[in-house]
Amino acid sequence: MVKLIKKIKKYIVKKHIDKLHFPAFTNDEIIRNKITFTGKVQRVGFRYEYFCIAKRIGITGYARNLQNNIVITEVQGTKAMIDELLKVIHNEKRFVIKETVIEKINVINDESDFKII
């Protein structure tokens, strides 16, 4: 039963993300950021929604849970793409993001996908 509920939640999130409209992004410089989120970001579908948005925008990287309601991500794309991802995720009502820390890090040249770890 729990697996069925999770599957339904993922379906609903995916349908929600598919309805969002994103701007056309230009081929600007690719950057990579390590972003740490604290707050109510675990057990609420945060990583999956983040994953869906990142994939739809064309961002690569990963999202991973740490302990004590912390999610750490690395995202790679243009500044405009990453800004759009952050705007959308911060506007989601199911999460309570208390703090977002962004650190610029080195680009990974051969990365081609976004993963949930």
Lowest mean pLDDT among 3-17, 33-47, 71-85: 3-17
Residue 67 banded pLDDT, cuts 50, 70, 90: confident
Q: Is 36 exposed, middle or buried (0-12, 13-18, 19+ CB in 10 A)?
A: middle
Q: For residue 112, what pLDDT is reported?
A: 94
**SS3 state at 54:** helix
Q: Are 58 and 81 in contact (CB under 8 A)?
A: yes
Q: What is the radius of gyration, based on Cα positions, of the chain? A: 14
Q: Say whether pLDDT at 43 is over 90.
A: no
pLDDT tens digit sequence for 80-115? 999 999 999 999 988 899 999 999 999 999 999 999
Rounded to an integer, the average pLDDT of 34-59 is 94
Q: From its phi and psi, is residue 83 left (phi > 0), alpha (psi between -120 and 50) or beta?
A: alpha
Q: For residue 83, what pLDDT is reported?
A: 97
